């Protein structure tokens, strides 16, 4: 079973992320976690978070254990660049590209366990009926009469022909 997780718009250059991704490519998930935990490179933290997200998805959605998973594919692509300008001598400017990356991680291994559907007990409403006559209140009629009365008097005050 393949579990695919993505991390998009990571603000680290793809060239630097690939250095960390190459270390864990093809490794088991347990070994990859230990490698990323003790790696000194900056992209190791986002990669570890992505790996943990994939493990959680495999466990919750398919019931696959962590020990059975391995990294079958890890791909680092280029994301949109943020373009800036650095002022230089004599009024000129040099371009700066702030690069970002997209990471796609595919975990494989293990057979998905079929989840048993949990049975939810249906709650039935029990209503007690009291004997006697129930009177309906005409609160709508009362509100309409009050509202219309105030509207008429307000209109007369605003739209007078002669000011007092």
Residue pLDDT, tens place only, 70-115: 999 999 999 999 999 999 999 999 999 999 999 999 999 988 877 6
pLDDT of residue 134: 62
pLDDT of 9 higher than 80: yes
Q: Is the pTM of this model over 0.75?
A: no
Of 39, 61, 59, the C-alpha closest to 48 is 39
pLDDT of residue 136: 61
Taking each helix axis from N to C terminus, what angle separates 44-57 and 29-37, rounded to the nearest 10 degrees? 150
pLDDT of residue 114: 72
pLDDT of residue 147: 55
Cα gap 65→42, rounded to integer Å: 28
pLDDT, tens digit, 9 for 90 and up, residues 104-156: 999 999 888 776 666 777 777 766 766 766 666 665 555 555 555 555 666 66
pLDDT, tens digit, 9 for 90 and up, residues 19-63: 999 999 999 999 999 999 999 999 999 999 999 999 999 999 999
Of 72, 76, 98, the C-alpha closest to 85 is 98
Cα gap 149→95, rounded to integer Å: 72
Q: What are phi and psi of 77, to 5 degrees?
A: -115, 165
Break the chain into its structural domains and give their ranges: 3-108
State the CB neighbour count (10 A cutoff) for residue 13. Answer: 18
pLDDT of 158 higher than 80: no
pLDDT of residue 164: 59
CATH domain 3-108 topology: Ribosomal Protein L22; Chain A (3.90.470)
pLDDT of residue 98: 98
In the numeric block, which tokens belong to residue 19? 């250095």
């Amino acid at each position: 079973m393949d579990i695919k997780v993505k991390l998009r718009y990571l603000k680290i250059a793809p060239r630097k992320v690939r250095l960390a991704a190459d270390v864990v490519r093809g490794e088991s998930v347990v070994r990859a976690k230990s490698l990323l935990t003790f790696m000194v490179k900056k992209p190791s933290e986002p990669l570890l978070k992505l790996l943990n997200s994939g493990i959680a998805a495999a466990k919750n959605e398919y019931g696959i254990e962590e020990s059975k998973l391995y990294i079958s594919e890890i791909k680092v692509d280029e994301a949109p660049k943020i373009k800036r300008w650095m002022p230089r001598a004599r009024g000129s400017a040099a371009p700066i590209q702030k690069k970002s990356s997209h990471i796609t991680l595919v975990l494989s291994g293990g057979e998905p366990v079929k989840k048993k559907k949990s049975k939810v007990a249906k709650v039935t409403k029990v209503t007690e009926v009291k004997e006697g006559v129930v009177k309906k209140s005409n609160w709508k009629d009362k509100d309409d009469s009050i509202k219309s009365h105030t509207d008429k008097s307000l209109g007369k005050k605003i739209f007078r022909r002669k000011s007092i």
